[in-house]
Amino acid sequence: MEPQMTNPIEGALDAAIERLNLTQLAALGGGASFWESKTAPGVPSFSMSDGPHGLRKQEGDAADHLGLGASVPATCFPPAVSMGQSWDPALARRVAAALAEEAHAQGVNVLLGPGINIKRDPRCGRNFEYLSEDPFLTGLLATSWVNGLQSGGVGASLKHFAANNAEFDRMRLSSDVDERPLHEIYLRAFETVIRDAQPWTVMCSYNRINGVLASQSRWLLTDVLRDQWGFAGAVVSDWGAVADRVAAVDAGLDLQMPGDTSAFDAAVVAAVEAGTLPRAAVTRAARAVARTALLAQRSRREVTVDYDAHHALARETAGRSIVLLKNESALLPLDPTARIAVIGSFATEPRYQGGGSSHVRPTRLDIPLDQIRAAAPNAHVTHAAGFTVNGTGNQDALHADAVEIADAADVAVLFLGLAEHQESEGFDREDIELPAEQLALLEAIAAVQPHTVVVLASGGVLRLAPVAATATAILNGGLLGQASGSAIADVLFGKVNPSGRLAETVPLRLQDAPSYLHFPGEHSRVRYGEGVFVGYRGYDARDQDVLYPFGHGLSYTTFSYEHLDLHTTEDGLLADVQIRNTGSVAGREIVQLYAAKPDSSVSRAPQELVGVGSIDLKPGETGTVSIAIARRDLAYWDDQLGRWVVEDGSYWITAAKSSRNAQLSQETTVAGDDVRSPFTAESTIGEVMAHPAAAAVAVAAFGPLMPQEGAGAELGMDVMKMMASMPLGRVIGGVDEQSAHHLQALLGGLNAAVFA
């Protein structure tokens, strides 16, 4: 962990809090303006801004939370949808460090990000702001991002806490989630980042969780976040997420945003005076806000931002985030002297970021068509729009022009995707389809041009079956930020060998998604009925065919997985994977480790991602990737014990190119946690018989009463299996004292044997 809550401010913090009266303490818990906290004697204010992938600093009357008002120019790095595809924590850290510099230059102390909600359903309108469908990958990348930002002296605001996986009815919607999936899927990445990075702030979400508003959930904000995970920072509300400030402060909220909150501040004072709100809760909130302000004051520094260098970093990040989905006949990289038909309105008006509160005003914008021409000055490059995203213009004429230039070229590069009005914060998509006019254009282009490359831009998963059946090669960029044009050109012509991997599964159709029947909900409730089987976990558990699996991505070279060695360590396992570049060009391979426990005592996914590593290799070169697998990442959440549990016994560890492309597997033994719990009258015969020591006691106690193997066959039933589900109290107990005595004696013997 990189400690962020440092001791030098504690003395000043104690002194400041002791000087404040109740009114001043309460006032610190509310914003002063749209982006600023309040001041108090000894406590400065601090400023916040949107910006998971770029600073969205608004000034004066432009302030809003929907991306409507203008913001100062800032580097627009690839949003999380693309950053997730890099599978590169070191790159995420570098981007966040650059964001810290730009924040300092604009006087911003806390950047509202990263967004780490799980991509539960491909229709969620805000999926472009989130990293992955997998909590391990999400936690890995987000931890590096937070550490990179905070090492630069700017605080992070981890969001949206928690289970905020839809935009539908988001101010009221209750995410109804069982305990296991809540911990294993939706809270796990938050726990990882809190443990390993200690963000300055956490932003609570709009929605309810199991009926309780996140801003008013003591279980979420106090029991879990602070008491279980050890969070030491401030809990900030999403803008407008507080319905009852008094209840929120009592639950664990520290700062209500945005301002002006004077009426809410007064309500807090009145509640303390009436005895309905503990003064200690108000002091806790004020102290958390003051700590953040003092950290910000101590971390402020003057910087001169090199925006050219940041643009170069945005270009590098975008290049590493592009996924090569398909490349038949090695069509890519392109010949730089070829006749190239570039088609699609996105080639001249690129879709490079999402809509809403994270919308950044870029310092510059690389246009794909211009960058293709610059990268291949000896190529003959033509362009046709082919379609318009708003349906205006003569679509038939646009279509015909595109077919004509494609027919005359050696290769067609067709830019397809979704426009900003088709996916954004504030609403969910109804489907995952590409617009019909784009698919019709693709079919017409491919009919005359057998060498057709499709370049995709969208913030969420698309149904790509018709594209995969038609195009020769496919590049999936997601949303690539302001350097999207140059990064796409880099990959098209082989300056960059693509190494991105999908961070979410591409299904054959929307109906195959595990969440399909449980999204988006109704009557302000949504049931997370797929449980822990989210994303690839669900597709794998149902043995469901997919178009492109989680972790998929091709390269312009090939890699051979030569050897896998597993070693037991104090904290888990260490996997050494030997990789060889068997192709003709240098490349980067992403190594994915999955763990499986086929004999698990609980319902688990067939495999789960537990490790990620990468290696750059020249042609013919061999190298070893060492990846640590933390013991905690082998655990499941035991909803009876209320804690993480590592099961004892055999695990299979697989080194893979994707969740559906295993290369090497090895079995290993892991010592499990002690999960013994005492037998009670509600314990079943089956549970007793599953424990060897307890079984011996049970057989000795009432063995003659046990049915013999095969008993009941004449009645078409298995008496042994039927009795296995019977509680001891129903078999032995009774209303008389003697039966109760026998039951207690048996339980005593069973527990003595188990805990001996």
Residue 124 near residue 460, CB atoms below 8 Å: yes
Q: Which of 480, 456, 474 is nearest to 317 (CA)?
A: 480
Round to whole Å and give the CA distance between 237 and 222. 14
145-156 as b/e, with b when 16 or more CB fall inside 10 Å? bbbbbbebbbbb
Which helix (H) or strand (E) segment holds residue 136: the answer is: helix 135-151
What's the token pair of residue 158?
């981890």
Whether residue 667 contacts residue 652, with contact meaning beta carbons closer than 8 Å, is answered with yes
Q: Say which residue the tokens 């627009």 belong to.
A: 76
The span from the first CA to the last CA of the chain, in angstroms, equals: 38
Phi-psi region of 167 (alpha: psi -120 to 50; beta: other; left: phi over 0): alpha
Q: What is the dihedral of CA 610, 616, 619, 620, to 10 degrees?
A: -60
Alpha helices per DSSP H over 479-635: 484-492, 536-541
Is 63:34 a contact under the CB 8 Å cutoff?
Answer: yes
- Tokens for 294? 């003092």
Residues facing residue 255 across a β-bridge: 236
The residue behind tokens 């975008």 is 318
Ramachandran category for residue 716: left, alpha or beta (phi over 0 → left; psi -120 to 50 → alpha) = left
For residue 204, give the nearest of 315, 309, 304, 112 by alpha carbon: 112
Nearest to 496 by CA among 325, 366, 334: 334
Active site residues: 238
Task: Return the exposure string of 259-277: e unless at least 16 CB atoms fall within 10 Å of the residue's CB, then b.
Answer: bebeebbebbbebbeeeeb
How far is the CA of 592 from the CAs of 512, 550, 646, in angstroms?
24, 11, 21
Select from 697, 696, 699 the least CA-distant residue to 747: 697
